[in-house]
């Protein structure tokens, strides 16, 4: 489904440093090599995406041909029509949005506040607690599936939103990531804020978080993409389009026996990719902004 | 709330840790089979878990509506059980651990036995008898596929066989008779002509690859050479005849007459191959091709039965209450009654599972109008149950598929099959043998 998106464009603000370095490898040769490398990377990323998009506009008989068609001979939006009508596409889409939104917000909030506690507040057993949380990170969710299923099923939560959301809301990865980010905030700043009378929440909200935007945004994007693509657990929990997510719904376009009609599959894939793509483009600017905004004047 | 007390904070942190711990490792609840058969299933609602074989969801819903109309007291809930038989088995497996069992579940030729062996499926033969339903009208071979130690564990539902598809235009161009070959050796003699006729970059023969059921279709080739994957529970991959068949396969690959593909039917449909060995379930998908499609029997030299059956049946879990099982039996009987099996097969390309379905005027008319479908039905008497090594040994099919992939890629046949023999044997020894009621 949605692939992890490679960010291109982060190099814009950091150009100055790069050019200073590049000057040591002076000459047009290096520059050409650099451009060639860039083009190759771009092709590796863009070609599959391009192929998915044009396939979604092809007619069925134009999809499997030799030589390959690099542009649809008879462009059609029929694939999109089929993808959104043969399965309850918009129901799945709605569920995906709801589940991803709730899960991501929960994970981000829990991640930030737990990381803050573990890095900047002092209380007994802090290290032990951190180790426990890291231990939870080591357990892949595929292993806990069976026991979670038993638990959720006994609560009568099968085929409900909470049955899908709550077991997935564990957050160890975010805690780990954000804790290390918070620890890297210079202690002078923390002390200065405390001297100025900032309480724990103010310290988090006005001092530490603004210095951590890039990490937080990166963590948020990773979280959203992960939740959006989650398959195994929603598949086991959901029975139909009432709470099923897109990855679960899209499997119905594929054929168990027989021939998969790839046009609708690709069309649905494009539609499923869009929200994450839009979110990424919207947040990317902030990531760069965060990278360049220095808190300490040096 | 800018002032957090230390105690309140500790409490909150403890709570957070507890939540994390819970999410990471929840306790296993025992299967609550006492409470009305797990998960509080309503005995008047039949929960039917299907992966909609052959994209049959609309057909299934149509049959369900007819069932509800005929049985006003009963409701049927159609649950999506994933994209493949393996997905459905996985979902059922999870339900076994946590209750909330379905009333009817789709089980494929490869997945049913393991559940039957572990007493997870009910004996449908007995259930049918209790409810005054007859099983005599099911096609004998298809019903017998679910027989184990005198009990039947599923009712045939979406059943297919392997057929020989060919591209008539290429056959004509190559000057080859318009029929499927008598034997695979005859095909080998045709291959150079077919390859020349179809041109480079395409292949005379397209097969599935190991991830996509080559282990299923290749059975037909092995049997035609007198070999087999196994005899009873004893794997026979090192049998000279089995090895010979694999050598033939490798020979085609080496001479570039054959390619294996994860999407073989689409490749064939696009005209990239002259011959395809695939399920009858593909027939429904071969629409608007730009060539004439030929469908024939799989090569069976000397009239040996060389056609494996496949597909899926409907099973009823053993862990649900007797009431629910009886309702489930009624539903299964309805879904597979002569008229409905005819409707289902015409929508998908699977085979009618009832003998009397072939006598129905609508089915007769349909088969007359669609001779390709008729080939599969006529081939039914030549089918033979699959080898235990593939369908009864847990993971057997996947292991065989991987070994065949290696052979196609050029690894030594004898040594590959020797190690496959070992892995099949050890899987049998550890996972099946202890459970067999000798």
The shortest C-alpha distance from B100 to chain A (Å) reads: 7
Q: Is the pLDDT of residue A21 over 80?
A: no
Q: Annotate A164-184 with b (16+ C-beta within 10 A) or e (fewer).
A: bbbbbbbbbbbbbbbbebbee
Name the residue in chain B with its Cα closest to that of A262.
B266
The shortest C-alpha distance from A286 to chain B (Å) reads: 27
How far apart CA B44 and CA B195 sit, in angstroms, is 59
* pLDDT above 70 coverage of chain B, percent: 90
The 3-state DSSP class for residue B43 equals: coil
φ and ψ at B323, to 5 degrees?
-60, -50
Cβ atoms of residues B118 and B315 within 8 Å = no
Cβ atoms of residues B8 and A200 within 8 Å = no
Flag if B26 and A167 touch (Cβ within 8 Å).
yes
Q: Is the pLDDT of residue B107 over 60?
A: yes
Segment B126-138 mean pLDDT: 92
**A·B CB contacts under 8 A:** 187
Cβ atoms of residues A183 and A192 within 8 Å = no
pLDDT of residue A121: 85
* pLDDT above 90 coverage of chain B, percent: 58
Using a CB-CB cut-off of 8 Å, the residues of chain A touching B95 are 149, 153
How far apart CA A205 and CA A16 sit, in angstroms, is 32
B22-42 tens-digit pLDDT:
444 444 444 333 333 344 456
pLDDT of residue B331: 95
pLDDT of residue B435: 85
How far apart CA B121 and CA B104 sit, in angstroms, is 10
Flag if A146 and B202 touch (Cβ within 8 Å).
no
pLDDT of residue A103: 93
Question: Which tokens hold the place of A128?
Answer: 């032990």
Which of B192, B246, B191 has its CA nearest to residue B405?
B246
pLDDT of residue A28: 87
pLDDT of residue B39: 42
Q: What number of other Cβ atoms are within 10 A of residue B21's Cβ?
A: 15
pLDDT of residue A292: 55
Average pLDDT, chain B: 86
Place A286 in a pLDDT band, splitting at 50, 70 and 90.
confident
Average pLDDT, chain A: 82
pLDDT of residue B4: 46
Provide the Cα torsion B256, B257, B259, B264; round to 10°: 160
How far apart CA B438 and CA B435 sit, in angstroms, is 9
Among A144-153, B7-16, B294-303, whose mean pLDDT is lowest? B7-16
> Does residue B232 sit at the A interface (CB-CB below 8 Å)?
no
Segment B40-59 mean pLDDT: 83
Domain A88-294 listed as CATH 1.20.120.450: no
Segment B56-84 mean pLDDT: 91
Residue for token digits 């006598």?
B359
Residues of chain A with CATH 1.10.3720.10: 88-294
Q: Is the pLDDT of residue A68 over 90?
A: no
The shortest C-alpha distance from B268 to chain A (Å) reads: 9
Flag if A260 and B201 touch (Cβ within 8 Å).
no
pLDDT of residue A251: 84
The pairing of beta strand B293-296 with beta strand B147-148? unpaired
Segment A123-147 mean pLDDT: 84
pLDDT of residue A288: 66
Using a CB-CB cut-off of 8 Å, the residues of chain B touching A259 are 265-266, 269, 282, 285-286
Burial of residue B104 (number of CB atoms within 10 Å: 0-12, 13-18, 19+): buried
Q: Is the pLDDT of residue A157 over 80?
A: yes
Per-residue H/E/C for chain A: CCCCCCCCCCCCCCHHHHHHHHHHCCCHHHHHHHHHHHHHHHHHHHHHHHHHHHHHCCCHHHHCCCCCCCCCCCCCCHHHHHHHHHCCHHHHHHHHHHHHHHHHHHHHHHHHHHHHHHHHCCCCCHHHHHHHHHHHHHCCHHHHHHHHHHHHHHCCCCCCHHHHHHHHCCCHHHHHHHHHHHHCCCHHHHHHHHHCCCCHHHHHHHHHHHHHHHHHHHHHHHHHHHHHHCCHHHHHHCCCCCCCCHHHHHHHHCCCCCCCCHHHHHHHHHHHHHHHHHHHHHHHHHHHHHHHCCCCCC
Name the residue in chain B with its Cα closest to that of A111.
B16
Q: What number of other Cβ atoms are within 10 A of residue B100's Cβ?
A: 23
pLDDT of residue B298: 94
Q: Is the pLDDT of residue B17 over 80?
A: no
Q: Is the pLDDT of residue A24 over 90?
A: no
CA A152 to chain centre: 26
Segment A41-66 mean pLDDT: 86
Using a CB-CB cut-off of 8 Å, the residues of chain B touching A66 are 201-202, 270-272
Place A256 in a pLDDT band, splitting at 50, 70 and 90.
low
Which run of H or E residues covers position B405?
A: helix B396-408
Q: Is the pLDDT of residue B408 over 50?
A: yes
Place B437 in a pLDDT band, splitting at 50, 70 and 90.
low
The shortest C-alpha distance from A269 to chain B (Å) reads: 16
Place B277 in a pLDDT band, splitting at 50, 70 and 90.
very high
* pLDDT above 70 coverage of chain A, percent: 85
Segment B366-371 mean pLDDT: 88
Q: Is the pLDDT of residue A241 over 90?
A: no
How far apart CA A65 and CA B32 sit, in angstroms, is 54
The pairing of beta strand B307-315 with beta strand B155-167? antiparallel
**What domains does chain B contain, in order, with CATH numbers?**
45-160+310-383 (3.40.190.10), 161-309+385-435 (3.40.190.10)
pLDDT of residue B38: 43
Q: Is the pLDDT of residue B149 over 50?
A: yes
Name the residue in chain B with its Cα closest to that of A144.
B25
What residues 90-129 of chain A have any CB closer than 8 A to a CB of chain B?
110, 113-114, 117, 121, 123, 129
The pairing of beta strand B45-50 with beta strand B104-108? parallel
Segment A210-238 mean pLDDT: 89
Q: Is the pLDDT of residue A65 over 60?
A: yes
Segment B119-142 mean pLDDT: 92
Beta strands in B217-376 (DSSP E): 230-231, 234-235, 258-261, 273-279, 293-296, 307-315
A123 has which bridge partners? none
pLDDT of residue A23: 54
The shortest C-alpha distance from A256 to chain B (Å) reads: 5
Place A13 in a pLDDT band, splitting at 50, 70 and 90.
very low
How far apart CA A220 and CA A218 sit, in angstroms, is 5
pLDDT of residue B120: 93
């Amino acid at each position: 489904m949605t692939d992890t998106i490679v960010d291109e464009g982060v190099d814009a603000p950091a150009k100055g440093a790069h050019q200073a370095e590049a000057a040591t490898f002076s000459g047009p040769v290096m520059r050409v090599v650099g451009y060639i490398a860039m083009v190759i990377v771009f092709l590796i990323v863009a070609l599959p995406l391009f192929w998915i998009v044009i396939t979604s506009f092809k007619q069925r008989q134009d999809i499997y041909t030799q030589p390959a068609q690099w542009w649809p001979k008879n462009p059609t939006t029929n694939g999109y029509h089929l993808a959104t009508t043969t399965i309850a596409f918009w129901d799945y889409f709605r569920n995906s949005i709801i589940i991803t939104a709730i899960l991501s917000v929960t994970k981000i909030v829990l991640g930030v506040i737990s990381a803050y506690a573990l890095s900047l507040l002092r209380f007994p057993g802090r290290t032990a607690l951190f180790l426990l949380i890291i231990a939870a990170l080591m357990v892949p969710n595929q292993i806990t599936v069976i026991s979670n299923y038993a638990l959720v099923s006994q609560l009568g939560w099968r085929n409900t939103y909470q049955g899908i959301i709550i077991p997935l809301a564990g957050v160890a990865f975010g805690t780990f990531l954000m804790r290390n980010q918070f620890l890297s905030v210079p202690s002078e700043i923390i002390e200065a804020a405390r001297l100025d009378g900032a309480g724990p929440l103010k310290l988090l909200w006005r001092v530490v978080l603004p210095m951590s935007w890039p990490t937080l945004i990166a963590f948020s994007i990773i979280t959203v993409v992960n939740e959006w693509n989650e398959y195994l657990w929603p598949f086991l929990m959901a029975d139909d389009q009432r709470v099923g997510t897109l990855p679960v719904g899209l499997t119905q376009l594929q054929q168990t026996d027989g021939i998969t009609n790839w046009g609708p599959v690709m069309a649905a894939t494009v539609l499923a990719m869009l929200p994450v793509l839009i979110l990424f483009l919207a947040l990317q600017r902030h990531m760069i902004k965060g990278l360049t905004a220095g808190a300490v004047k040096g | 709330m800018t002032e957090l007390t230390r105690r309140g904070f500790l409490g909150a942190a403890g709570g957070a840790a507890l939540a994390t711990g819970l999410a990471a490792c929840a306790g296993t609840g025992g299967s609550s089979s006492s409470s009305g058969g797990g998960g509080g299933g309503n005995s008047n609602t039949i929960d039917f878990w299907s992966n909609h074989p052959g994209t049959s969801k609309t057909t299934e819903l149509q049959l369900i509506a007819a069932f509800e109309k005929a049985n006003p007291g009963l409701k049927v809930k159609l649950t999506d059980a994933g994209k493949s038989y393996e997905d459905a088995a996985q979902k059922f497996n999870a339900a076994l651990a946590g209750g909330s069992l379905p009333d009817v579940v789709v089980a494929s030729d490869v997945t049913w036995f393991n559940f039957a062996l572990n007493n997870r499926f009910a004996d449908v033969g007995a259930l049918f008898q209790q409810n005054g339903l007859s099983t005599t009208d099911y096609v004998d071979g298809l019903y017998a596929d679910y027989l184990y130690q005198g009990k039947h564990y599923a009712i045939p539902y979406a059943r297919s066989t392997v057929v020989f598809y060919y591209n008539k235009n290429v056959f004509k161009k190559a000057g080859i008779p318009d029929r499927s070959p008598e034997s695979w050796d005859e095909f080998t003699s045709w291959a150079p002509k077919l390859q020349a006729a179809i041109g480079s970059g395409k292949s005379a023969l397209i097969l599935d690859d190991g991830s996509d059921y080559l282990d299923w279709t290749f059975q037909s080739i092995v049997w035609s050479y007198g070999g087999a994957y196994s005899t009873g529970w004893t794997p026979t991959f090192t049998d000279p005849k089995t090895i010979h068949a694999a050598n033939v396969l490798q020979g085609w690959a080496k001479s570039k007459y054959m390619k294996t593909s994860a999407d073989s039917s689409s490749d064939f449909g696009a005209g990239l191959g002259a011959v395809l060995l695939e399920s009858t379930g593909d027939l429904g998908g071969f629409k608007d091709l730009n060539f004439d499609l030929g469908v024939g029997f799989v090569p069976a030299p000397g009239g040996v039965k060389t056609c494996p059956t496949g597909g899926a049946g409907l099973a009823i879990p053993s862990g649900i209450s007797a009431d629910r099982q009886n309702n489930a039996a009624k539903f299964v009987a309805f879904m597979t009654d002569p008229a409905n099996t005819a409707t289902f097969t015409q929508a998908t390309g699977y085979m009618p599972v009832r003998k009397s379905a072939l006598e129905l005027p609508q089915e007769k008319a349909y088969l007359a109008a669609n001779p390709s479908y008729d080939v599969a039905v006529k081939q039914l008497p030549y089918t033979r149950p699959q080898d235990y090594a593939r369908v009864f040994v847990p993971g057997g099919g996947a292991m065989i598929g991987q070994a065949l992939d290696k052979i196609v890629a050029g690894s030594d046949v004898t040594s590959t099959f020797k190690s496959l023999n070992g892995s099949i044997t050890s899987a049998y020894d550890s996972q099946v043998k202890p459970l067999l009621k000798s």
